Amino acid sequence: MLFNSYIFIFIFFPMCITGFYALASRNLGTAAKIWVIGFSLWFYGFFSPSYLLIMIISIGVNYVLIVLMDRFDEKAKRRGILITGVTLNLLLLGYFKYLDFTIGNINTLFGSDIPMRNILLPLGISFFTFQQIGYLADIYRGDETKPAFIDYALFVSFFPQLVAGPIVSGREMMPQFETIAGRKADPERIGRGLTLFVLGLAKKVLIADAFGRAVDSGYSQIAVIGGLDSFLVMIWYTLQLYYDFSGYCDMAMGLAGMLGFDLPLNFDSPYKADNIVDFWRRWHMTLTRFFTRYVYIPLGGSRVSERRTIVNILIVYFLSGLWHGAGWNFVLWGMLHGVAYAVVRTGVRHHYKNVTNRNNSVTVPDTGTATPNRALRILSHIATFVYVSFAWVFFRAASITEAASLIRNMFTGTWRSVNYALAEAFVQIDELWYVVKFSGLPSVNFALAHNLVMIVFTLAILVMTFAAPNAYTVSKKIRPRAITAVLIGALGLWCVLSLSEVSTFLYFNF
């Protein structure tokens, strides 16, 4: 089931929130938890019943390991259970996500002809697998205690963040589950959550999907598009991915907020970053936190020699690339960021100081003072955005060869005009008719109008991306006024009327 679907907006969530508060407000906390778990299973099983079975088995096996670990005080036995748990979770993830990738590489290296399995990747498996690995590690360290099974099942299956994050920790969610009994609907909190949901929905439906149509068109005709076309496709995907993924996370936080839960912030205006280090403090923050806690720090973090620290950084970004997708293009994308991160860190390390991340608990290097001059800081912003956009080409392309073709086009193709098919993909004909009609320029031809809308839309979103506060900040600062309700209602109605072409979220693929 998708957040951006009629069944979710008009049937699923109204039933879920109504039943939840009916039970919770009567001090039926366990019943309220079971109610949300039931809806979470419906939400996940809506995609495929087989996916649901995989998740249920994963929850059961991991909970058994938690119970076993809780019974032993001996460190060796606890470590053995942890290793077993991590291995089982990675084997599950590896089978569904990396088996065909492994077979393909073996066939290439050894000239063998092992048939591909063509296994469908269960939605969200990368997210709920990492979440459970993190919980096992926290139990082993003594940072968490054995939860009740219902709480653990809710922790893993909670539908707002189940299939695309954010990746939450037990210390964030378990205390909130303990306060469900007696919880009553808070109109102001529900209003702020609804605002955040609508803003996230608008980011997905009105912005990301518009860019997505043009990006798909561009990648389908790489052989014929020119240099300007290729550059625009690169920028469009940079914006599409951000508004798609952050839109999902905004909706997840809004839905959780309406139910009285707080999810951690996952995006903090990443394209406003000063450099790559700052970018990863702002982009997919809970994944960065996961790799920091469970990979980078156990490897020694920055407490070892400078050379070993750089190796640790590269290991983290290699794994990050591989986590995102079973392909060498994803590995290359990760290494591009890892190398840039290491270079920036080395170049400005004398400016570093420890700060607490806004995502509440990760100590990271702060490079905010690395470029005090305003002009240099603006150049640093632009350079970071361009570099990140360049790296996204490898993330979006089906292969390194396809990515290289798009990049080659930028340097060898013409920059005189934009391929009409790209501009046409931006706005559907019916929508454009209204734009032309109400602009007062009915004589404008559609080719010119398509290009005009494409240019204005792209520039407007770029300005909003670099200058406007993010949706989370807006939802926190917004005041409950009649005009606010009207504006959010109008925006929500616009989004609902645009749901005829329902599209999945990009991170469902990862």
Q: State the Cα angle at 304 between 300 and 309, rounded to 5°.
A: 75
Q: What is the pLDDT of residue 119?
A: 86
Place of tokens 């009915």: 442
**Cβ-based burial of 131 (10 A; exposed 0-12, middle 13-18, buried ≥19):** buried
- SS3 readout for 444-460: CCHHHHHHHHHHHHHHH
pTM (whole model) above 0.75: yes
Residues 6+ apart with CB under 8 A from 152: 59, 62, 63, 66, 135
The stretch 38-58 carries a mean pLDDT of 92
Q: Which tens digit of pLDDT belongs to each residue from 133-173? A: 999 999 999 898 999 999 999 999 999 999 888 999 999 99
Hey, is 397 helix, strand or coil?
A: coil
| Residue 32, phi then psi, degrees to nearest 5 | -65, -40
Query: Is the confidence at residue 244, as pLDDT, over 70?
Result: yes
Distances, alpha carbon 466 to alpha carbons 239, 344, 369, 374, 461, in Å? 11, 21, 19, 15, 9
The stretch 22-47 carries a mean pLDDT of 95
Least reliable range by pLDDT among 290-294, 362-366, 440-444: 362-366
Residues 6+ apart with CB under 8 A from 384: 273, 274, 275, 276, 278, 279
- SS3 readout for 214-264: HHHHHHCCCCCCCHHHHHHHHHHHHHHHHHHHHHHHHHHHHHHHHCCCCCC
Q: What is the pLDDT of residue 277?
A: 94
Distances, alpha carbon 35 to alpha carbons 162, 177, 323, 451, in Å? 16, 13, 32, 50
In angstroms, rounded to a whole number, what is the distance separating the alpha carbons of residues 430 and 450?
A: 12
Active site members: 324
Q: Which tens digit of pLDDT belongs to each residue from 346-377? A: 877 655 444 334 444 433 444 444 445 788 88
In angstroms, rounded to a whole number, what is the distance separating the alpha carbons of residues 50 and 57?
A: 11
- SS3 readout for 167-225: CCCHHHHHHHHCCCCCCCCCHHHHHHHHHHHHHHHHHHHHHHHHHHHHHHHHHCCCCCC
CA 107 to chain centre: 33
CA 220 to chain centre: 24
Please indicate whether residue 501 or residue 225 has the higher confidence score (pLDDT).
Answer: 225
Distances, alpha carbon 349 to alpha carbons 277, 340, 370, in Å? 11, 14, 9
Place of tokens 């920059």: 415
Query: Is the confidence at residue 288, as pLDDT, over 60?
Result: yes
